[in-house]
Chain A
Amino acid sequence: MLDRDQVRDQAVATATRLCRAGGKPAGDGIELSDLDSFTIVEMVIALEDRFSVPLLLEIGQFTGTTFAELADFIIVQCDRGAGVRAG
C-alpha cells in the first residue's frame, strides 16, 4: 500500500524538477494549478514510470485539482493494477 504523503511528495518533486528544467520558477508552495499543460503531461508520464501504472489512460476519471488528490488517484490506480495482477 502506497503512502499518500510519499506519493504526493513524489509528484511535487517531479513537477518541481520539470518546471526548473523548463526555466520556470518552482518554489516550495508549488500547486498543480501552477503547471502548464505541457508540464502536467510530462509529470504524469514520469509518475507512470515511477509507479509502473497507466495513468494517462485513466486520467479521464481524475477531477481533482491538488497534488494530494492526484496522489489519491495514483494510489487507486495502483491498487486496481495490483488487484488485476492478483486476480
Chain B
Amino acid sequence: MPAELRGSMRVAERYLTQGACQGAEVAVADHTGLRGGFRIGRAGYGEFPLWTCAGKSLLTVCVAALVGRRMLSFTDRIVTYLPELDTGLWHDVRLCDLLSHSVALRHDPAAWAVFRDDDEVLRRLRSAVPATPGSGGVYLRWTNFFLVGQVITRVAGQSWDTYVQRHVMDPLMLRDTRLRFPAAALGELEWFVRSLVQLDGSHPAADPSMPDPSMPDPSMPDSSMTVRADRSWPGMSASGPMSDLVRVLAVLLPGENPLAIPPSVISEVTTVRNQNTGAIEGNPLNWGLGVMVDRRIASSRFTAETFGYFGHNGTVVGFADPARGLSFAVALRGPRTKGGLSLPLRRAAIIHAILDDLPTLNDVPALDDVPAAGSDGPR
C-alpha cells in the first residue's frame, strides 16, 4: 500500500469488504499534474471502463481554450455558427447560456443523437419545444453539450472530437481517456437512455416532434432503434480513469496550465451564472460555464469556489478547489441506487479521508507507479 492516501484507501477497502461497492478509484492533482491516487477492486473491476464526467470537462476546457485564443466568445450567439438553428427559440441563445444550462427546453431532444446522426438532431432541434416561460433553465444532459460540440466543429473546421483530441487530450497526455463510448458498454448506454423514458419527463420521447424510442420508429418500420456504435457524443460518451479526469479539472486551477488558458477566462468559467438549476441527488446546484460551481459536489469542508461535476448518477465525482489548488476525483463502481442514501455518504467518507491524507501528499509517486488492482478481492 502506498504511503499516500492511506486513509482513503482504507475506507475504500472497507466498502469493498462490506460489498458496498465493486471497485473504487481516487486521484488528486494540482496544476503541475497528478499528485496521487489509487485504484482497487474486485475481480473484473478493471475491465469495466468508467463512464465518467470527463466528456463535459473536456468540452468545457476546450471552449475555454478557444475563448483564450479569441476564436470564440462566451457571449457569442450560437446561431452565428449554426445558422440553420436561427429560429425564434434559438435566436438569442448564447454559448454561455448553453454552458450554464440556462436554456429552457421542455425536453432533451439531443438524446436522440444516440440513435441518429447530427444533421437529423439539428433539424429536430429547430422545432424543440421551449419550457414554460419564466421557468428558467433546466439541466439538460444531452442538448446543451451537443450544441457546444457543434459550435466547436464549425469554429475549428474539423469535427469536435478530432479537435478535442488534438488540442486538449494530446497536450494533457490523457492516454487512457476515450471520446467514443466503449463498444462493450453500448448496452449500458442504451439502458440509460431508455431508463430516462421510464424515470422522468425529460426524455426525448416526451417531445411531440419525436417518436418514442421505446416504440417502433415509423422511419425504421422493420427494426427497433439501436445505439450508434460509430460515433461519439459531446459531453456524454467520454470515459477514462480518475487520474485523467483530475488533470482536466486542474487546468482550471490557479497557476500555469498546459493549454495556456488565461486566468480571466478561467474566472469566467468558474463564476456562478445560474443558481439552483438541475437537481442532482436532490441538490439544486449552481452552475458556472460548463462546470457546477458548488461545494455541495464535495462537502462543506471545501470552499464556495469549488467546481466540478457529478457523473454516472453520483458514482463519479470530480471537482477542484481553487483555494487548495487541488483537483479530486472519486469513483465508486457498484450498483447505482438512484436516490439512495448510502452512495453520497460513502462518497463523502472517502472525500473526507482524502482531506485527512493531504498532509502526506508530498513527493508521492505518479498513479502509474501504483500497483494495479488486485484480481481476487480487495488488496
**Range for the number of chain A residues in contact with chain B:** 20 to 34
Residues of chain B within 8 A (CB-CB) of A42 are 299-300
A60 contacts B299, C-beta separation under 8 Å: no
Given contact pairs A37-B314, A56-B349, A57-B14, A62 touches B342 in the complex (Cβ within 8 A): yes
Mark interface residues in B338-367 (1 if CB within 8 Å of A CB, else 0). Answer: 010111111011001000000000000000
Residues of chain A within 8 A (CB-CB) of B339 are 33
B344 contacts A63, C-beta separation under 8 Å: no
Given contact pairs A60-B15, A60-B18, A40 touches B345 in the complex (Cβ within 8 A): yes
A59 contacts B345, C-beta separation under 8 Å: yes
CA distance A53 to B361 in the complex (A): 27
Between A36, A41, A61, A65, the greatest number of chain B beta carbons within 10 A of the residue's beta carbon is seen for: A41
Query: Smallest CB–CB gap between A79 and chain B, Å?
Result: 18
CA distance A35 to B283 in the complex (A): 9
A61 contacts B18, C-beta separation under 8 Å: yes
Task: Specify which of A38, A45, A59 is in contact with B342 (CB 8 Å cutoff).
Answer: A59
Q: Which of A30-87 contact B (CB under 8 A)?
A: 32-33, 35-38, 40-42, 44-45, 56-63, 65
21 contacts across the A-B interface (CB closer than 8 A): A35-B282, A36-B282, A37-B281, A37-B282, A37-B283, A37-B314, A37-B344, A38-B299, A40-B345, A41-B299, A41-B344, A41-B348, A44-B345, A56-B346, A56-B352, A57-B11, A57-B14, A57-B349, A59-B342, A59-B349, A60-B21
Residues of chain A within 8 A (CB-CB) of B281 are 36-37
Extra contacts besides A38-B344, A60-B15, A60-B20 (7): CB < 8 Å: A32-B341, A36-B282, A36-B283, A37-B283, A38-B299, A40-B344, A57-B349
Query: At the interface, is chain A mostly helix, strand, loop or mixed?
Result: helix
Would you call B379 an interface residue if the criterion is a C-beta within 8 Å of the partner chain's C-beta atoms?
no
Residues of chain B within 8 A (CB-CB) of A36 are 279, 281-283
Residues of chain A touching chain B, judged by Cβ–Cβ distance below 8 Å, are 32-33, 35-38, 40-42, 44-45, 56-63, 65
Residues of chain B within 8 A (CB-CB) of A40 are 341, 344-345
Would you call B296 an interface residue if the criterion is a C-beta within 8 Å of the partner chain's C-beta atoms?
yes
B344 contacts A60, C-beta separation under 8 Å: no
Kindly report which residue of chain B lies nearest to residue A64, judged by CB atoms: B341
The 9 tightest CB contacts between A and B, nearest first, are A60-B20, A37-B344, A36-B282, A56-B349, A37-B281, A59-B345, A38-B296, A41-B348, A60-B18
